[in-house]
Structure formats: C-alpha cells, structure tokens
Amino acid sequence: MKQIIHSFLYGSAVWAACTVSQEVKAGGIPVSTTEDGDAVSPNIVCVVCEDIGPWLHCFGDSVAVTPTIDALAAEGIRYTSIYGTVGVSAPSRAALITGMYPTHINANYMRTQGGQIARPPAVTGYDIVLPEGIKCYTELLRAAGYYCTNNPKTDYQFLPPLTAWDECGRQAHWRNRPKGMPFFAIFNTLASHEQKVWESAKDTLYVSPDDVVLPPYYPEDSIVRRDIAVMYSNIYRMDCFVRQMIDELRAAGEWDNTILIFYSDNGGPLPRQKREITEVGTHIPLIIRYPDGRLAGSIDDGLRSVIDIPPTILSLAGIKPPAYMDGKAFAGKYASPSRRYVFAARDRMDKCYDQQGGVRDRRYRYICNYTPNQPGYQPVGFRLNMPMMRRMLQLHEEGALDENQESWFVWPRPREEFYDLEKDPHEMCNLINDPAYRKYIDRLRKVYRQWERKYWQCRPLTEPEIVQTMWPDGVQPLVSAPQIVQKGGQVKLECSTPGVSYAYQLNGRGRNGEKHWNLYVEPFVVHKGDRVAVQAFRVGYKKSEIVDFLIEH
C-alpha cells in the first residue's frame, strides 16, 4: 500500500501522522556509523535530466517506458507537485545552483552567454553578478567535508568558479575522491533534451506514434505524433542512463550508502511546453531514494519549487541552509512545511522578448502578460529545427488549426489569464472575466503582486540597464589579488573585494593531487619553506590572478 504524504496546508487529519514519519525518517539521520559509533555523512548523487514533465510510468503516464525510474520510485518518495521557476534551462539552472529565484538575481534571461543565436545583437554576452555573500551551494558541501563533482553541464548564467566543485567536466566522478571522503555528485544527461527530438528522429522508437495521447493544443497529424513518440523514446534512453548511474554505485559498493535524487531541470521539450510558465512548462518529476528504505513507495504531493532543491540537499547532508536562500528544504534535518504557492516568470528567450509572471496554488494558476501585443508563440530559431514545430506553423498559415490549437498564435493576448487546473489541466479556458472565480482571481493576483515586488524588482528595467548595474560601462568587475596574513604557524586569506571565495594549493597540490585546488574554509597550518598559491573568486567577476606566497618563517 502506497503511503501518501499530503501538503501541510491542504492535507487531511491523517496527514499529521504521515508528516511526523516524513520529518523523522527523512531527517538528518546519518546513513551509517563507524565501528566507533561516529556518524558518517551520507553520499548524495543527483541524476538530472532535461526537459520532461512527470511523463514517467511511475507518475501515472501509461505510455512512458521507464523501468529503472519506476523501480527507483518503488524504493523512494515521489514528489508529485514540484514546479520550476521558468520553463527553460539556463535560468532554471541558476536557481538550481543558488536556491534563489532567477528574477531575484538578474538571471531570468535565456541566456546570458553563448553564441549570437542565443542573444539579440544589442546584448553582449555577460555573467550575472551574484549579490555579496551568495555562492554556489556546493561550496557549503565542500566546506563540510564533501567531495563535490559535476558531470558535465553547468549553464548557470555564469562561469562556475573553481571553488564550486572539486571536479567539473566530462571526466568528473565521485570515484576520483580521496579515500574516506563522502561525496556529492551531479550527473546531467541530455538524452531527453529538446534538441534530441530532431537529432534522434531516425533512431529506434520505443513508443509507437499510434499510442501517444495528443493534448488538445496539438493537431491530429502524423508528424506531430512521430515527434511525441521520439520524445517518449528519448525518455526511455534517459531511463537507461539512470540505470548506468545506479549500476556504478552498486559495483563500487556505494549503493547502500547513498541517497539518490532524480529530477528534471524544467518541463517538457515540445512546442507550447518548453519556455512556457504553464503547467506543462514548469511541472517536473522528482524522486528521493534513501538507502535504508525509509518511506519507500510513498508520495509527497505538497507544493514545492526547484529553488527548494539546493536547501534540501544541504539539509539531507545535515547542513543548515543559509538564510539568504529563497528556497526552503523539504526533506532532511531542516525540512519545512510545503508551500501554499509556487511562482514562475519568463523574460527574453534567445532573441525573442516576452515578459510573463505567474503563481499557482493547488488548484488555480494566475498569469500576468506584460507584453500582450504579441502572441504566446515565439519564433525561437533553435526550436524551428523540430519537425512538429514547422508543421504547426504550416497548419497555422493554412488556417487548419482549431480554436485550441490556434490560440497560441493569436494576438493581442489578454493582460491576465486564470485557469482552473482541476477542470482544465491543459489551460485552454481563460477564466479571468468569470465572476464565479472573482475571489480566487483577486487572491492570486494579490499574492503574485507581493511576490513581484519582493523578488522581481528589476522587472521594469531593460536587460542592458540590468547589465549596467552588474558590469558598469560594460566592463566585467575584477577580483583584487588575495593576500595572506601569517600568524602563529597559520595563514589566513584576505581580499579587498567583498564576498569572495578562495581556492588554494599548498606546495603545488590540493588535497587530491596537482590539478586539485582546496576550498579555503579557515586558517590552515603552514611551515617554513612552504609555498601557498591562492586565487580568489566572486561569481560574475573576473577571477583574480594566482598569487604565490613563500612562507619564510
């Protein structure tokens, strides 16, 4: 029998017993202990896929072929109501590395770096500058003794500083850690990414086009059906990648010591899904599997946001999430009750400008359109590689789409939208002018405006104006050269640039060899004749020069 953990605000009386179970069993309890009884920090591995909603068999999708993830869900907790802050990767990944709303840290444009296909001609590539004190959450894990690896995608809207990861790249792996260190590892897979719909078009189909279910916003068409079947087949390929990650843990004897977390960076890859702040653009799957089997096969249906993932990972490691994070932990030692609302917003998508913001509760979604004099459809060049996108445009031009399918191309749009997701899960019927929903509209509009004032203060500014606040006159700020202060056989690192982190080597090595750099956490012991190499970093700034110090006494 499946255990269902209901949300804090909307659950029944039975929930009280379930939530105690969740917070105790999924709390900050070490996975194991040494022979001396000392606590051992749990290993944590995240397998992160791209561009899928909860289109997995274990989440109720009968078309999906996902045997590995289904087995993982049977051993873990399925989070069925977790939502992204935006329907596209780079802003979402900025949230996933900081625990902050992308709008709160000037990271909501898609994207700030990359080639000219990714930006209008007037926008030069830039890294966002994080406010003083805000860092990649992995620095907190490293400071607590974790060996942290990322393989390989970052896409954070900034170049990751050397201090964020012990290893970052295609060869990064928890196997490379020094003996005895707990590890935190992220493995990213592109198997289900939007681009794979056309890149895998001629590969084996594991789902028949005849078996897919068309939502009302798609026409009955063979090209559309085939692309959806390719998407499901890519999800199966992604499932195979998850199996590979699990097999590696088993082979190394680490499966029984490791918490595994599976999630997607944003919602679906198809037209009218990706880049939208609707249900299909933001709803993602997430599973947490504990090695001791706690809460196996259970469901948590409380509202969560992707900004809650970083503090949850810290909480699972027994680390208190920093107060500056917008996200709140939903598992582990510092777990918080579920949310009453989740929020999303979108700005520029590659060369196409639009601005929307919205809020969802457990039943309704409110959206505000700040640029209503254009359609919801955006002519994003990258997406035009997809056959079904080109086919939908053809049918649109021929006048062959029905009212639901054509609505994406219609302009002007209403200034506001409101949907009853219980009655209208595909968000086809805008109820903004329905008096029967007036009190719900007023409530969500008010909640959204409060969120906007706090977390999207830059909304009225243009992108160049925002960049000017971070890179004055278009010049990237530079971290000053670090200094060392030697006292009593120890050295302390300092820098005149506020908010920096330091990477250092002692005598040409980090803890894990010549290519490795340690994260500076506190003053460390040195001896006469030692050489200390130091480099200072702040996200969005140009890194400092490497400074070498010789310890002379």
Place of tokens 């670090």: 482
- 511, 502, 455: which is closest to 480 by C-alpha? 502
Task: Report cis status (omega within 30 of 0) of the bond before 215.
Answer: no
DSSP 8-state secondary structure symbol assigned to residue 429 = S
CATH of the domain at 541: 2.60.40.10
Q: Are residues 462 and 493 in the same domain?
A: no
Q: Are residues 490 and 383 in the same domain?
A: no
Number of domains in the chain: 3
pLDDT by residue for the chain (553 residues), tens digit each?
344 443 323 232 222 223 323 333 345 545 455 555 556 799 999 999 999 999 999 999 999 999 999 999 999 999 999 999 999 999 999 999 999 999 999 999 999 998 777 888 889 999 999 999 999 999 999 999 999 999 999 999 999 999 999 999 999 999 999 999 999 999 999 999 999 999 999 999 999 999 999 999 999 999 999 999 999 999 999 999 999 999 999 999 999 999 999 999 999 999 999 999 999 999 999 999 999 999 999 999 999 999 999 999 999 999 999 999 999 999 999 999 999 999 999 999 999 999 999 999 999 999 999 999 999 999 999 999 999 999 999 999 999 999 999 999 999 999 999 999 999 999 999 999 999 999 999 999 999 999 999 999 999 999 999 999 999 999 999 999 999 999 989 999 999 999 999 999 999 999 999 999 999 999 999 999 999 999 999 999 999 999 999 999 8
Q: Are residues 369 and 292 in the same domain?
A: no
How big is the CA angle at 266 (ends 538 and 542), to the nearest 5 degrees?
A: 15
Q: Is residue 48 part of a domain?
A: yes
Q: Is residue 123 part of a domain?
A: no
Structural domain that includes position 500: 483-550
Q: Is residue 114 part of a domain?
A: no
Q: Are residues 163 and 232 in the same domain?
A: yes
Angstrom distance (rounded) from CA 388 to CA 271:
8
Q: Is residue 145 part of a domain?
A: yes
Q: Is residue 284 part of a domain?
A: yes
Q: Is residue 143 part of a domain?
A: yes
Q: Are residues 316 and 403 in the same domain?
A: no
Q: Are residues 72 and 177 in the same domain?
A: yes
Q: Are residues 297 and 356 in the same domain?
A: no
The domain boundary, picked from 329, 361, 383, lies at 329
Q: Are residues 225 and 374 in the same domain?
A: no
Joined tokens for residue 141 = 């894990």
Angstrom distance (rounded) from CA 2 to CA 301:
13
Name the 3-class secondary structure at 255.
helix
The domain boundary, picked from 301, 329, 357, lies at 329
The domain boundary, picked from 431, 452, 474, lies at 474
Q: Are residues 265 and 322 in the same domain?
A: yes
CATH of the domain at 77: 3.40.720.10
Q: Are residues 268 and 369 in the same domain?
A: no
pTM for this predicted structure: 0.94
Burial of residue 5 (CB within 10 Å: 0-12, 13-18, 19+) is buried
Q: Is residue 104 part of a domain?
A: no
Burial of residue 62 (CB within 10 Å: 0-12, 13-18, 19+) is exposed
* Side-chain half-sphere exposure of 434, counting CA atoms within 13 A: 12
Q: Is residue 463 part of a domain?
A: yes
Angstrom distance (rounded) from CA 106 to CA 323:
19
Q: Are residues 280 and 408 in the same domain?
A: no
Q: Are residues 170 and 222 in the same domain?
A: yes
